[in-house]
A and B are shown apart, each in its own frame.
Chain A
């Protein structure tokens, strides 16, 4: 009964526009009046201890590295490099978007930054080259979903923290092949689109320029080598890898690319503090809430009663995907992860689902959620950058979404796709 009151209070407050972290906080305070054994001082204590862990520091460092790269003109360089790599394929400019987004995902991990920086450059360029604006916007938007899936990924760090006992390194590596597969599926779609509607070829680039472009772009992509290489080899913890990536990004953008002035750094740091704070307050208040739920035994109750109706692992995985896609339509990735993981954990254990697998499925579904109407941050930014209305964008979006759903189903039902890489490197048993 108490739980129903709490749940309803929370849902009502969020629906009318109270920030999720405060809705959770208010619901927790209500719980202190209704439940014996929970008091307000405990709330404050749990909020503090929730973020008092070293691995969570990775969030602010990866955000810092990502913001530096995004502001430091990395998008343009990745596009120029991608032109050398895939510009000769049919659907050339669309292919460039896919490949540049893939690399961008490996550098920043933010879908929104990807849409705004690659979109601002490529949508006008594609339109000039004869593509329809709606296709250009759609491909930029869909390619941006790779951001949170290809490491580094704030979502994965948050998942590893909330789930506990999951290796960030294994999650990062698990995201590589599915992320690249999404890119490849979008490239296939671009190939078909190019063959059907668009046969123009890009001008030939002189070899000297090609070499310069590849070197310039590779310098940016090297961030990913530092992060993954450092974590895999055991040189860095995930947090230290974040810090190292930030140092590299700092040197590259301030001293090599020279696109960020030293005087801009305090403001950039402040922005990172703000982003970090939004994530941390969510983690803090949600940890209080999930503690109350556990205190009331809710996750086990759900696992034992409600989900008894589902017998097979396959059916559960399917339902999980559908459920997450729907949640993702309405809620942002980070709060959804923080709130849902405690509920889904006992179920995953019951159906013997590897937690890395669970994390990956959640991150992929919820990054699709960033692009799907009615609510999707990446979608809104794309509409703004592409100067297009939602109903015009939907038709070209659907076939691309279908391509990506195939990848999602593959990841869900063919474990080798995600676990081959972490297993080979000994990060998963």
Chain B
């Protein structure tokens, strides 16, 4: 059981690192495109048509991928005061139940995300000759990652002695623990 868990742990760590890398690359691209659009408009006097559209799709990818990571990092904003005041035993059960709900929502996004991609993915984008297959899959993939990561949180809850809240306190504190 422990070996199985450690393999699962490694898998999750690998996927999380991959998501992080993809997000950083996409965010860099997003930043550069928007800057380039300004430079082109004022420097060369010509607006490039797709510089409004492509950043939007990048934002969708970044947002839904990183949103799944926030499940793993327990940073989605919520109200954790009552939860933290409960006795540890109840917290463990409650934490697992809540993670199950997150898992369930991930399943809905995954399952119906696939339907959504199948039904509308072949439509064309607005300014460039590509189909929506390039960004609609962000939804089912995010749904899948939410399922994976909430499963990890759930297992951690069951295994740990001291149960922790699955929600963060505020948008402003996201990523704070890592800050020096």
Residues of A in contact with B (beta carbons under 8 Å apart) = 13-23, 25-26, 29, 39-41, 43-45, 47-48, 51-54, 56-57, 60-61, 64, 71, 110-113, 154, 235-236, 239-240, 243-244, 246-247, 266-267, 269-282, 284, 330-335, 370, 374-375, 377-378, 380-381
CB within 8 Å: A-B pair count: 220
> Do B115 and A19 have beta carbons less than 8 Å apart?
no
CB < 8 Å neighbour of B31 from A48, A154, A246, A331? A246
> Do A243 and B76 have beta carbons less than 8 Å apart?
no
> Do A334 and B171 have beta carbons less than 8 Å apart?
yes
Is B112 part of the binding interface, using a Cβ–Cβ cutoff of 8 Å? yes
A350 to B: closest C-beta gap in Å: 30
CB < 8 Å neighbour of B115 from A41, A111, A269? A41
> Do A29 and B108 have beta carbons less than 8 Å apart?
yes
Chain A residues within 8 Å of B23, by CB? 269-270, 273
Is B133 part of the binding interface, using a Cβ–Cβ cutoff of 8 Å? no
CB < 8 Å neighbour of B79 from A15, A71, A244, A271? A15
Instruction: A271-B175, A274-B174 given; name 5 further pairs at CB < 8 Å.
Output: A18-B101, A20-B79, A45-B120, A270-B20, A280-B59
Chain A residues within 8 Å of B111, by CB? 40
- Return the 5 tightest CB-CB contacts between A and B, nearest first: A19-B76, A17-B83, A277-B66, A377-B170, A271-B175
Is B3 part of the binding interface, using a Cβ–Cβ cutoff of 8 Å? no
Q: A16-B83, A240-B37, A240-B38 are in contact. Are A332 and B24 (CB under 8 A)?
A: no
> Do A334 and B77 have beta carbons less than 8 Å apart?
yes
Q: Which residue of A lies closest to B78 (CB)?
A: A19
Separation of A19 and B80 alpha carbons in the complex (Å) = 9
Query: Which parts of B104-145 form the interface with A (CB within 8 Å)?
Result: 104-105, 108-109, 111-113, 115-116, 119-120, 136, 138-139
> Do A47 and B109 have beta carbons less than 8 Å apart?
yes
Is B56 part of the binding interface, using a Cβ–Cβ cutoff of 8 Å? yes
CB < 8 Å neighbour of B112 from A15, A44, A64? A44
Query: Which parts of B5-60 form the interface with A (CB within 8 Å)?
Result: 20, 23-24, 27-28, 30-31, 34-35, 37-38, 42, 52, 55-57, 59-60
Query: Which parts of B59-106 form the interface with A (CB within 8 Å)?
Result: 59-60, 62-67, 69-70, 73, 75-83, 94-95, 98, 101-102, 104-105
Q: Can you show 13 pairs from A to B with CB atoms below 8 A apart?
A: A18-B78, A18-B102, A18-B167, A19-B76, A26-B104, A44-B113, A45-B116, A112-B172, A266-B24, A269-B28, A270-B23, A274-B73, A278-B77
Chain B residues within 8 Å of A48, by CB? 60, 116, 136, 138-139
Interface of B is mostly: helix
Q: A111-B172, A377-B172 are in contact. Are A273 and B62 (CB under 8 A)?
A: yes
CB < 8 Å neighbour of B175 from A45, A154, A275? A275
Q: Which residue of A lies closest to B83 (CB)?
A: A17
> Do B119 and A41 have beta carbons less than 8 Å apart?
yes
> Do A274 and B34 have beta carbons less than 8 Å apart?
no
Is B178 part of the binding interface, using a Cβ–Cβ cutoff of 8 Å? yes
Residues of B in contact with A (beta carbons under 8 Å apart) = 20, 23-24, 27-28, 30-31, 34-35, 37-38, 42, 52, 55-57, 59-60, 62-67, 69-70, 73, 75-83, 94-95, 98, 101-102, 104-105, 108-109, 111-113, 115-116, 119-120, 136, 138-139, 165-176, 178-179
Separation of A340 and B95 alpha carbons in the complex (Å) = 27
Chain A residues within 8 Å of B76, by CB? 19-22, 278, 281
Q: A18-B166, A243-B35 are in contact. Are A13 and B24 (CB under 8 A)?
A: no
A66 to B: closest C-beta gap in Å: 10
B38 to A: closest C-beta gap in Å: 5
Separation of A270 and B37 alpha carbons in the complex (Å) = 23
> Do A41 and B67 have beta carbons less than 8 Å apart?
no
A382 to B: closest C-beta gap in Å: 13
> Do B77 and A236 have beta carbons less than 8 Å apart?
no
Chain B residues within 8 Å of A45, by CB? 116, 120
CB < 8 Å neighbour of B34 from A29, A240, A277? A240
Q: Which residue of B lies closest to A279 (CB)?
A: B171
> Do B81 and A375 have beta carbons less than 8 Å apart?
yes
Chain B residues within 8 Å of A52, by CB? 56-57, 59-60
Interface centre among B37, B55, B59, B63, by most A CB within 10 Å? B63
> Do A57 and B30 have beta carbons less than 8 Å apart?
yes
Q: A40-B108, A277-B67, A277-B70 are in contact. Are A374 and B81 (CB under 8 A)?
A: yes
Separation of A274 and B168 alpha carbons in the complex (Å) = 12
> Do A274 and B170 have beta carbons less than 8 Å apart?
no
Separation of A53 and B81 alpha carbons in the complex (Å) = 34
> Do B27 and A16 have beta carbons less than 8 Å apart?
no
Chain B residues within 8 Å of A270, by CB? 20, 23-24, 27, 175
A168 to B: closest C-beta gap in Å: 16
B81 to A: closest C-beta gap in Å: 6
B116 to A: closest C-beta gap in Å: 5
